[in-house]
Amino acid sequence: MGKKYDELYEKICHPANLWWAYKAAARGKRYRPSAAAFEFDLEKNLIEIEHELKDETYRPGGYHSFRIQKPKKRLVNAAPFRDRVVHHALIQVIEPLFERQFIFDSYANRKGKGTHAALDRCTHYLRRYRYGMHLDVRQFFPSVDHEILASILARTIGDQCALRLAQKILTSGDGVQADEYEMVYFPGDDLFSRQRPRGLPIGNLTSQHWANVYLNHLDQYIKRTLKCRAYLRYVDDMLLFSDDKAQLGQWRGAIISYLQSLRLTIHEESAQSRPVSTGIPFLGFQVFPDHRRLKPSNGYAFQRKLKDLAGNYREGKLSFRELDCRVTSWINHARYADTWGLRKAVLTNAGLLEGING
């Protein structure tokens, strides 16, 4: 306990940072069994984490995995609550080191950014350029290579204790997304390449942050080397705009080649330039220069879900507060498109029209 640490790791282990990390991890989840159990003996649990971090005896626990269907089919990996506290403690301290490196038009998991800011920026570019192109990475989270990510983290995190903690969390995710990954071989690979540690658990705060860290090199390449002035990214969804359709095609080829250095590929068949007047698919919407449409699959999926929720509410299996929260969440998402008629129809069919408020 008398061991000296660099300033960065001292901040991670500091009781005030761990207290903040607990509050952040528990936000909106205090009544879940894992959070409630941790809070029941809060001081003891936080002191234990502090000691484990200072002694460097902390070891992440196992993941509980489950599948979700929306916004796309994915395997989500939930870490134990105490591990989520550690994730918040680490990211709170190291995030500013990376934040200053990111481009302006990276919108996922950043303060002051988010889905709706990304949609507004997309509209901004749609009104200024003739052509647009949407690219997305195939199997992004399952594909993230641990060796490459560790190398990127080490270039910025000079504190070896903090780096070892990050490495422990990164290693804990090895294999949790293995069933979601379809092996891709890159130039220079051999048979042992299949055994490379890879995959970020979908659900970890660290994974959300490290997705931006991992793809920041691509952002810099597109902005600095390709000189694309109109570019934005939300996690692994990217948009590029230009008045020259041929230029977009050239950029597409260059991006495919560059992504090999990150051991990533894109969905090449859908990565095609198109006139902005036809709209660009982005974050569950079809975005046009003067309006947006919610993808039909989104509306149909929520209509089915709402029917079940309304039935559970009427049978007393769901509280009004839970029902209201889920309906309001979808309304607030859908209202960023021209969906007044859709929202009215969906809520009317479920007998919940009084829940809509514009």
pLDDT (0 to 100) of residue 331: 67
Mean pLDDT for the chain overall: 88
pLDDT (0 to 100) of residue 355: 42
Calpha distance 57→18 (Å, rounded): 16
Crossing angle between the packed helical segments 296-314 and 320-334, to the nearest 10 degrees: 170
Beta pairing, strands 74-78 & 230-234: unpaired
Question: Dihedral angle at the C-alpha atoms of 36, 41, 43, 45, nearest 10 degrees?
Answer: -80
Calpha distance 276→288 (Å, rounded): 7
Calpha distance 94→78 (Å, rounded): 22
Crossing angle between the packed helical segments 340-349 and 320-334, to the nearest 10 degrees: 160
Calpha distance 264→260 (Å, rounded): 6
Q: Residue written as tokens 């916004």?
A: 71
Contact 276, 131 (CB under 8 A): yes
- Residue 15 main-chain phi, psi, to 5 deg: -55, -35
Q: Residue written as tokens 């509050």?
A: 23
Calpha distance 78→288 (Å, rounded): 36
pLDDT tens across 41-58, in order?
999 999 999 999 999 999
Calpha distance 60→57 (Å, rounded): 10
The whole-model pTM stands at 0.83
Point out the residues of the chain with pLDDT beneath 70: 1-5, 70-71, 296-305, 329-358
Contact 306, 327 (CB under 8 A): yes
pLDDT (0 to 100) of residue 336: 63
Residues in the chain: 358
What's 72-85 look like in SS3? Answer: CCEEEEECCHHHHH
- Residue 63 main-chain phi, psi, to 5 deg: -105, 145
pLDDT tens across 160-206, in order?
999 999 999 999 999 999 999 999 999 999 989 999 999 999 989 99
pLDDT (0 to 100) of residue 357: 43
Q: Name which of 12, 11, 22 is nearest 44 in CA terms.
A: 22
DSSP state of 180: G
Q: List Cα–Cα distances, 29 to 24, 32, 77, in angstroms.
A: 10, 5, 16
